[in-house]
């Protein structure tokens, strides 16, 4: 529990410093005359709300509950195409609806809610369908890697999946809506997570 708490504190401190830096940079940049400038590189903090459910073959079903992501994004976009690696500290909340194999389970009773904590790393490749200076419409997809930080009702696992969605850039704000289908690498071979996510970020450059 102490490790999870310390991780949260580190992430919050980094995000606070980045937001402060971004705010100072934005004020300086906005004071300059308006000029057309290609956005080759951008990075910044990002906060998302997620809704996740878990299934392990026909053995386990969970209900969708709201969770949260807090992290950073890095965007490289020399043209309409761009690549955007991201890293998040992710909290997933869920509720077990049914469990058929108790050998893998050692947690709360059915219908109880619980939280799991993860590091999530999507690598997004996208295209700007509309690319104006202060407004952009994007479509994206890419691989996603996830590792669970703390053992809980479901044993530790690593995940690999696919994320897809669309995004809007309005001034320095970036808004993404995405769906992730994430399968297990280890230890469950016939398992998946469905993750729906809406996030807001702020571009520092």
pLDDT at 169: 95
Q: Which residue has the higher pLDDT, 80 or 60?
A: 80
CA triplet 176, 182, 186: central angle to 5 degrees?
145
15-29, 109-123, 135-149, 187-201: range with lowest mean pLDDT: 15-29
For the stretch 193-203, what's the b/e string if a residue is b when 16 or more beta carbons lie within 10 angstroms of its beta carbon? bbbbbebebbb
pLDDT at 36: 42
Split at pLDDT 50, 70, 90, the class of 28 is low
- Give the model confidence (pLDDT) of 165-177 as tens digits: 999 999 889 999 9
Q: Is 21 helix (H, G, I), strand (E, B) or coil?
A: helix
What CATH number was assigned to the domain covering residues 2-202? 2.40.160.20
Q: Which residue has the higher pLDDT, 22 or 183?
A: 183
Q: What is the pTM of this model?
A: 0.74
Residues in the chain: 205
d(CA 65, CA 200): 19
pLDDT at 98: 60
DSSP string, 129-179: EEE-SSEEEEEEEEEEEEEE-S--SBPP-EEEEEEEEEEEEETTEEEEEEE
Domain borders along the chain are: 2-202
Q: Is 27 helix (H, G, I), strand (E, B) or coil?
A: helix
């Amino acid at each position: 529990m102490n490790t999870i708490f310390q991780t949260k504190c580190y992430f919050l401190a980094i995000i606070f410093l980045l937001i402060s830096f971004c705010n100072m940079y934005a004020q300086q940049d906005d004071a300059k005359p308006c000029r057309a400038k290609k956005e080759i590189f951008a990075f910044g903090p990002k906060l998302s709300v997620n809704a996740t459910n878990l299934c392990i073959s026909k053995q386990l079903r969970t209900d969708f509950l709201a969770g949260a992501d807090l992290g950073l994004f890095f965007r490289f976009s020399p043209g309409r195409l761009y690549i955007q690696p991201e890293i998040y500290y992710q909290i997933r909340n869920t509720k077990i609806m049914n469990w058929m194999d108790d050998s893998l389970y050692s947690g709360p009773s059915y219908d109880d809610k619980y939280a799991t904590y993860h590091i999530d790393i999507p690598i997004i490749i996208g295209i700007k369908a509309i690319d104006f200076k202060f407004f952009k419409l994007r479509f994206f997809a890419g691989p996603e890697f996830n590792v669970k930080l703390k053992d809980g009702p479901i044993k530790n696992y690593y995940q690999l999946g696919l994320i897809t969605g669309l995004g809007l850039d309005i001034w320095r704000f970036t808004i993404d809506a995405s769906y992730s289908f994430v399968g297990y690498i280890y230890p469950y071979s016939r398992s998946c997570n469905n993750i729906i996510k809406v996030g807001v970020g702020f571009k520092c450059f």
